[in-house]
Amino acid sequence: MELEFKKCNDFWIDNGVENLYKIFRKIEKYHPDIESKIKPDKVILQFEDINKFVDKMAEIVEELKYERLLIEEKDKKTGVKKRVKKDYILIQYGSKDSKGVNTLKEKIYTNPKDELNKIFNLITTKPKSSKSNKVCLCCGEEFSKEYQNMKQASYPMTTKIKSLGGIRGNAENYKEICPKCYLAGILEWADDYLYKYLGDKSYIFIPYNFNLVKLNEFKDKYRIFLNNSNRYCNIGENREIYGKYSALLKFYEYLIDNAKLNENPNIVWHIITVPNKDIKNIKVDKFEMMGEIFRVMKVTIGELDGDSLYGDFLNGIYIKEERKNKIEWEGTNELREGISEAFLTNNFRKFVKYFIPKNKHYIILHNDARKILEKIIINWRWIKLGIPKEHLETIKKSGNVIAEVCIHNNLNLLYKLDKVRTSEEFWSVMREISRKMISLDAENTKYINPMVLGDLISLVKEYEKDWKELRDLLEIYSCMYISIKQYKPEDNNNDNK
């Protein structure tokens, strides 16, 4: 018998179809008379003996359930091991089994053999050519009998809120899902995707490409790197991932560094936010990595020589309270997430702003973080400008002058530089900086080169159309030197690195 599972241009169901292919391939290893193929628009399954097929598939579903959905965890108080559902999974708990272990309400997970038999029976039953046929809300195909109605467990974009008619964006009466889409949708929870728990909510990141073959190739590249036995995060230590963009940054570093991905994969991430409360009204956002940022990451990682962009750059940035000499962790985590977002969304202006110290808070950059920041600046901005590299020294040294002036006066000049809207305003701030510099005493100008401001002025005049870019560069170097000048060695004691 031959069955086809067609893609339907829905990221959840299509990933579910690709995941079915992964399961079918596993079954093939045990039963050579079962064969599956993946094509850009469908997965084809051939088998002789449905019982043999369902028996093996039931075993796999059982394994996946404990590996991906109901994981074993030690109770923090009693130390007793128990099975808990990962927090983002939108399948309800069922009643406990005879051994007192948690189960899932969906029967396909509690009794896979019987339920798979029922589902495949329905799938292999041809629709009668009558008007009573139903149309699947996901794939649009006709079918004669449903396994069950659509609900969040099989299709998470469904919502229970009555005012929305039960299904987001659809009228009340449409809740039909065909047995094939049910199967793909309910098993998608056991697929390979990224997840990250954040206390009040969780994120799941589902990759998508319209071509199922390409989607499959991409998922095969990263499958082995995921740590799915961790309840909270499967791409590294949970406490070291600060939000959705830092998770993606960490993951792209894996793809480039470990999976040796050379080209930006043609993938759109569908990021599902699942609130950690009773009504699971979810939200879906998309993220697509830009080729330019992928290139910057790849080149920079290639230059790191054993260091990592995530561990040595992002985790080497801190916020410290001016008076207390103490790391402010909440702000630090927000800062690291913000920097990741600005970088991944290719927003250098926003990236620069994150390095400006504010409200009596210092920004601390560890040595490695500073070195990597410079590599990012060069690979991301400088190369693109096409200005000879020796001129970068002028900007760097001018940043040092501005930092010195700010340290001995206040940060207002830096804030003014950040706010300039025209090149005239820019020149006016530069003149103010020059005046303030002259009033510094000899002791404070020992390590800076006051003459460099003259070079900076000729540089900006020569490349006046790029004055905003040059201002951004000047600003981030000023921030970097302010951070160096504010950083005191005794700060190290508290860094917890």
CB-based burial, 454-484: b 16+ in 10 Å, e otherwise: ebbbebbeeeeebbebbbbbbbbbbbbbbbe
Nearer to Zn ion, 16 or 399 (CB): 16
Nearer to Zn ion, 13 or 430 (CB): 13
Q: Does 122 bind Zn ion (CB under 5 A)?
A: no
Give the amino acid at 487: Y
Of the candidate residues 27, 138, 198, 249, the single one contacting Zn ion (CB under 5 A): 138
Nearer to Zn ion, 181 or 235 (CB): 181
Site string for Zn ion, 45-64 (x = CB under 5 A): --------------------
The CA distance from 426 to 424, in Å, is 5
The CA distance from 296 to 46, in Å, is 45
DSSP state of 379: I
Token pair for 293: 């940022």
Binders of Zn ion in range 172-201 (CB under 5 A): 178, 181
Nearer to Zn ion, 138 or 309 (CB): 138
Q: Does 136 bind Zn ion (CB under 5 A)?
A: yes
CB of 259 to Zn ion, least distance (A): 32
Matching residue, tokens 């043999």: 52
DSSP string, 222-248: HGGG--TT-SSBSSS-GGG--SHHHHH
Start-to-end CA span in the chain (Å): 59
CB of 133 to Zn ion, least distance (A): 13
Beta strands in 347-484 (DSSP E): 361-365
Binders of Zn ion in range 81-120 (CB under 5 A): none
CB of 176 to Zn ion, least distance (A): 9
Nearer to Zn ion, 143 or 203 (CB): 143
Tell me the C-alpha to C-alpha distance, in Å, between residue 230 and each of 73, 194, 197, 271: 9, 11, 10, 19
CB of 198 to Zn ion, least distance (A): 33
CB of 118 to Zn ion, least distance (A): 16
In degrees, to the nearest 5, what angle opens at C-alpha 349 toward C-alphas 347 and 350? 70
Nearer to Zn ion, 138 or 377 (CB): 138
CB of 155 to Zn ion, least distance (A): 10
Q: Does 402 bind Zn ion (CB under 5 A)?
A: no
Instruction: With contacts defined by CB under 5 A, name the span among 134-142, 257-265, 412-420, 462-470 that binds Zn ion.
Output: 134-142
Residues engaged in binding Zn ion (CB under 5 A): 136, 138-139, 178, 181
